[in-house]
Amino acid sequence: MDFAIETINLTKKYGSKAGCTDVCLRVPRGQIFGFLGPNGAGKSTLVKMLVGLLYPTSGQAKLLGYPLNNIKIKKKLGFLPENFRYHDWLTCHQLLEFHSKLYGINGPERNKRISAVLETVGLAGKEHQKIRTFSKGMQQRAGLACALLPDPELIFLDEPTSALDPLGRLEVRRILLQLKARGTTVFLNSHLLSEVEMVCDTVAFIKDGRIIRQDSLEHIQSSEIKMELTIGKINDTVKQALSNIALSSYIEGDIVTAFVNSEDDIPRLAEAVINNGAQLYEMTRKRSSLEETFIELTGGVDN
């Protein structure tokens, strides 16, 4: 398979503090790749190393088949940093001109690209307003416009929708799918798991600087079976018996949610309830959401 991003043991230390440790990732070309992890996990650190804003402490990486910091490749990269804040005394058009120059987009091509990206992000007609008069959402769109200027082959978006309202988020999802349709690889850092679930092909989870899982979204969603049991007269023996069978489980009132990894465990769950003096009112198979996988992997729930 052809990879847009390949990293081997990529590591960044901030003094003695770990930013990323031994990160090995492979991002297939043309996919939307979701990079997920709790606050401080190392998502931005990885992206900053890949776009050349931070030097790795050790390890290697290739972007579009070339080692990091290749100038030819940099012209094919788009990047929207987190907490986007550009020169707010400029008009949006001036900002885009400035970034076009940085990318080496000159001559008649420059205005053509600027008009195209303004149209894509929905800021056409607003380009002569100063960035400081823009709302947070408009500023984020202006940042996205900068990232789209080079018509990138690979684009890194670090929390691209954090300031956007639901309609704005929908538009960004539409833009991401358009980019994918044109063959662009999208690397998306996001906390918004439902959003990632709607657009990503592959996801990776990072925790404390280490990758804890990388898989296709389809595989992640189907690899565990989620069961919901409504139980009467639940007691400690039942709870213990269920947690012996399940990979993980949690209880809310009289409803137990249990994750198992085999079909054979489903009747065992029922037996664990019935044989230990409780009553089973309902048992339903549910689709596991990305949010649940995230919580399970990052250890955020009490059993």
Write each residue from 32 to 51 as x if it is in contact with ligand ATP (CB under 6 A), else as -, in one continuous string. -----x-xxxxxxx------
Residues 6+ apart with CB under 8 A from 293: 205, 220, 221, 224
Return the number of the residue (36 or 256) whose C-beta is nearest ligand ATP: 36
Which is nearest to 81 in space by CA: 153, 177, 155? 155
Report if residue 44 touches Mg ion, rule: CB under 5 A. Answer: yes
Site pattern 160..189 for Mg ion (x: CB under 5 A): ------------------------------
Q: In the bound complex, what is the minimum distance in angstroms from residue 185's beta carbon to Mg ion? A: 20
79, 155 Cβ separation under 8 angstroms: yes
Please say which residue, 80 or 225, places its beta carbon nearer to Mg ion. Answer: 80
State the binding partner of 41 from Mg ion, ligand ATP, none, CB within 5 to 8 A by kind: ligand ATP
Give 40 or 104: the residue with its C-beta nearer to ligand ATP.
Answer: 40
According to CB under 5 A, which residues from 61 to 120 bind Mg ion? 82
Name the minimum Å distance from CB 41 to Mg ion. Answer: 8
Residue 255, Ramachandran bin (φ over 0: left; ψ between -120 and 50: alpha; else beta): beta
The two tokens of residue 73 are: 């490749």
Angle CA 104–109–113, to nearest 5: 90
Q: Decide whether 35 or 103 has the Cβ nearer to ligand ATP.
A: 35
Q: Where does this chain touch ligand ATP (CB under 6 A) — which range of 13-21, 164-172, 231-239, 256-264?
A: 13-21
CA distance linking residue 277 with residue 124, whole number of Å: 67
Candidate residues 22, 57, 70, 82; the one interacting with ligand ATP per rule CB under 6 A: 82
Which of helix, strand or coil describes residue 299? coil
End-to-end CA distance of the chain: 40
Examine residue 140 and tell whether it contacts ligand ATP (CB under 6 A).
no
Among 14, 89, 98, 281, the residue binding ligand ATP under the rule CB under 6 A is 14
Q: For residue 281, which amino acid is it?
A: Y
In the complex, the smallest distance separating the C-beta of residue 203 from Mg ion, rounded to whole angstroms, is 16
Question: Closest separation between CB of residue 30 and ligand ATP, Å?
Answer: 25
- List the 77-80 sheet strands across, edge first: 77-80, 154-158, 185-189, 32-36, 202-207, 210-216
159-167 long-range Cβ contacts below 8 angstroms, 24+ apart: 159/82, 159/189, 159/190, 159/191, 160/80, 160/188, 160/190, 161/190, 161/192, 161/195, 162/82, 162/191, 163/136, 163/137, 163/139, 164/137, 164/140, 165/137
Residue 43 or 76 with smaller CB distance to Mg ion: 43
Check residue 21 for interaction with ligand ATP (CB under 6 A): no
What is the helix (H) or strand (E) element at residue 220, kind and residue range? helix 217-223
- Written as one letter, the residue type at 57 is T
- In this complex, which beta carbon is closest to ligand ATP, that of residue 266 or of residue 295? 295
Q: Which residues touch 271 (CB under 8 Å, ≥6 apart)?
A: none
Residues that bind ligand ATP in the complex, under the rule CB under 6 A: 14, 17, 19, 37, 39-45, 82
Residues that bind Mg ion in the complex, under the rule CB under 5 A: 43-44, 82
